[in-house]
Structure 1
Amino acid sequence: MWREAAGLIGAAGCACLARSEYEKRHFSVEAATIVSDKIARDRTFVFLSDLHNNEFGSGNQKLVEAIHGLNPDAVLCGGDMMVSKKGSRDIQVPLRLFGQLAARYPVFYGNGNHENRMTWRRDIYGNLYEEYRDALRKMGVSYLEDRTVPLGEDILITGVDLDGDFYRKALYQKPPDMERGYLEKKLGTAGEYGDGFRILLAHSPLYFDAYADWGADLTLSGHFHGGTIRIPGLGGVMTPQYQFFLPWCAGDFERNGKRMIVSRGLGTHSINIRLNNRPQLAVIYLKKKQRVFEKAGNL
C-alpha cells in the first residue's frame, strides 16, 4: 500500500512541477478600470513588475507584442526587473526589454528591492546600479528615485525607494511599521505637485494605508509574486518575505476611494515555482468620470 501511495505522491509532484514550468512561461493579460474626476481624458497603462530576468520568447518578444497589441499611453514599471542576489550581475534582459518599449512609449520606472540592493551592497555590485539607471535614462525612461514627474496636465507619477528594513524577512524579524511622515520625508507632500491624479509606484504592498494617507489615488505594487502557489479561497501561500496566506499577495484593493493594484509579477527567483499563479501583465484603464446633468425642464 505504501508503495502505491508513494507512487501517487510522486506522480502528483511531477505533475505540479510540469504545470509550474508551463505557467512560468505563459503570462496572462488582466485589466482593471479606474474612474476619476481628476482624469482629463481616458488612458491605458500597462504595469510591469518582478520580471527577474525572465523571458517570454527570444528577447521577450511575446511580452513586447502583447504590449503593442494593447497600444498603451505609457508603460509603468514597479521594479525587480533583474535579480541582484548572490552576486548576480545580469542586467541585460531588462535593458533589452526597455530598449524596445521606450522607443515607442513613455516609460516610468520605480525601483524594487533588487534595484536598491545594488546600492545597499556596493561591496558586491560597485557602480552597477548607476550603469543600469543611466542606460535606461539614455533610452528616455523616466527613472523615479523618490521623484515625481507629470504625465500631461492631469496625472502625476511618483516612484518611492523604500528602505531595506521594509523588506526584512518575517521568518527572522517582522518588517517594521511605516512611521507617520516617512513618505513626506522621502517624497514631499503629495499636494505640492498639484491636483492631478496621483500614481505611486511602491514596490511593497504592505503599506497601503500609508500610501493612501500620503495622497496616492492609485498605488501600483508587486514584490510578493502572487504568493508563489495560489489556493482557491485561501490566496497565495507564501511571499518572498516568508509571510503565509497574506491578503496583499495580489489583487485589486480599495480604501476610502483610493486603489492599490498588486501584480503577481512576471518572473521568479529564489523560490522558482508558480502554481495556479501565472505571470501577470497588468493593464489599467483610467476613465474620465462623466458629469451627469439632470434635465431641469423649461425655464
Structure 2
Amino acid sequence: MLDYRLIAGCGLAAAAAFLARSEYERKALSLEEVSVETDKITRDWTFVFLSDLHENTFGRDNERLLAAIDAVKPDAVLSGGDLIVTKKGRAKTAVSEALLARLAARYPVYCGNGNHENRMVWNRKEYGGNYERYIGRLKEMGIICLSDQSAVLKKEVRISAVNLDPCFYKKANSGKLSSMEPEYVEKKLGPAAGKDCFQILLAHSPLFFDAYRKWGADLTLSGHFHGGTIRIPGLGGVMTPQYQFFLPVCAGTHEREGRYMAVSRGLGTHSINIRLNNRPQLLAIRLKRKIM
C-alpha cells in the first residue's frame, strides 16, 4: 500500500529545497558578456545593461552589484527600465534611486522606461505626480532620462529609448497583443541613426524585435520577462511573469539579418518571486570595431 505520509513528506521536502534554491538564486548575481562587431565605430565601446531590478539588492547598499559594474569599467551604464516597483498606486523607488545615485557619481547613466515606470504615466490619477518626482530626482543626479528620446556619444553611438504603449504589454479582449510596425518606432523616435553611427535601442519588451530591427536598431536591449522564471536546459524559460510559456525571446542574444537583440534575464523579481536555474543577470555589452 502507498504510504501517503511518506509521499507527503517527500513532497514537502522537495518544495522546501525548491524554495531554498530559489531564495539563493535571487541573490546570486551573474555577470555575462555580449559582443557585437561593427564597422560603424572607430574605437571599442563597453556598456553595462541593467534591467528589471525591481528594488532587489545584492549585498548591503548593492555593494556586490556596484563592484561587478566597476569590474567591467564601462564607458556608460544603460538601464532598460523596471528598476522600480509600481503596484496599486504605490511606487517603491528608494533602492533604485540609491543605486543610480552612486552609479551617476562614477559613470554616465542613460535610463529608459519599462512598464513599471510608465504605469505612473498611464495611471496618473492613481499615482499622482510620482513619475515626475522620480524622474526629477534622477535628473538632479545628472542621469540622462530618455523618454522617446535619443542621445549621441562621440558622434558614433546613438542611444535611443522608446516608451511602449500599454497595448504592447497587455492582451486585448481578443486574447492577443497588438502587432507593431516599424513606423511605430519611427513615429516615437524619428529615423534611426545612419550608417556612420551605431544605433542602440532600449525597448523594454523583446516581443517586437522585427519592428525594432526594421526601424534600424543595430542592437536592441530588452528585458521584461525575467528569463522565464524557471529555465530548463534545451527548452529555455518556462513561464514569464505574464504567464507566457516557453517564450523563445525571454532571454539570450538573438540575430536577424545582421541586427542583434540582447534580452536580459533581469536583476530582480516581482509578483512571482521565483528563480530556478535562472540567476539574476548583469550584462556587459562589448561593441568591437570590425577590422576590415
TM-score norm. by structure 1 comes to: 0.94
Measured after TM superposition, the shift of residue 59 of structure 1 is 1.5
Determine whether 1:35 maps to 2:37. Answer: yes
Measured after TM superposition, the shift of residue 195 of structure 1 is 3.1
Determine whether 1:45 maps to 2:41. Answer: no
Residue matched to 1:69: 71
Measured after TM superposition, the shift of residue 171 of structure 1 is 10
More divergent stretch after superposition (199-208 vs 80-89): 80-89
Deviations 1:116-175 (A, max 9, x none): 000111112111101111111111111110001101121000000000111115898221
- Closer, same or farther: CA 245–65 of 1 in aligned 2, 3 Å: same
Determine whether 1:100 maps to 2:76. Answer: no
Residue matched to 2:219: 218
Residue matched to 1:22: 24
Letter in 1 for 2:125: D
Measured after TM superposition, the shift of residue 179 of structure 1 is 3.2
Superposition pairs for residues 106-121 of structure 1, below 5 Å?
A: 106-121=108-123
Letter in 2 for 1:163: D
Measured after TM superposition, the shift of residue 21 of structure 1 is 0.3
- Measure, in 1, the Cα distance between the counterparts of 2:34 and 2:173: 33
- Measure, in 2, the Cα distance between the counterparts of 1:128 and 1:216: 31
Superposition pairs for residues 171-186 of structure 1, below 5 Å?
A: 173-186=175-188
Superposition pairs for residues 81-92 of structure 1, below 5 Å?
A: 81-92=83-94
Residue matched to 1:267: 268
Residue matched to 2:254: 253
- Measure, in 2, the Cα distance between the counterparts of 1:172 and 1:18: 39
Determine whether 1:286 maps to 2:287. Answer: yes
- Measure, in 1, the Cα distance between the counterparts of 2:84 and 2:50: 12
More divergent stretch after superposition (259-268 vs 229-238): 229-238
- Measure, in 2, the Cα distance between the counterparts of 1:250 and 1:70: 21
After the TM superposition, which segments of 4 or more aligned residues of structure 1 sit over 6 Å from their partners? none
Residue matched to 2:236: 235
Please report the RMSD computed on the Cα atoms of aligned residues, expressed in angstroms: 1.4
5+ residue gaps, structure 1, are: 292-299
- 8 Å CA contact 1:147–1:187 kept in 2: the answer is yes
Identical amino acids, percent of aligned pairs: 61
- 8 Å CA contact 1:202–1:219 kept in 2: the answer is yes
5+ residue gaps, structure 2, are: none
Letter in 1 for 2:232: I
Measured after TM superposition, the shift of residue 86 of structure 1 is 2.2
- Measure, in 2, the Cα distance between the counterparts of 1:169 and 1:82: 23
Measured after TM superposition, the shift of residue 71 of structure 1 is 0.9
- 8 Å CA contact 2:41–2:196 kept in 1: the answer is no
Aligned residues: 290
1:175 counterpart SS class: coil
Letter in 1 for 2:210: D
- Measure, in 1, the Cα distance between the counterparts of 2:64 and 2:158: 30
- Measure, in 2, the Cα distance between the counterparts of 1:142 and 1:131: 15
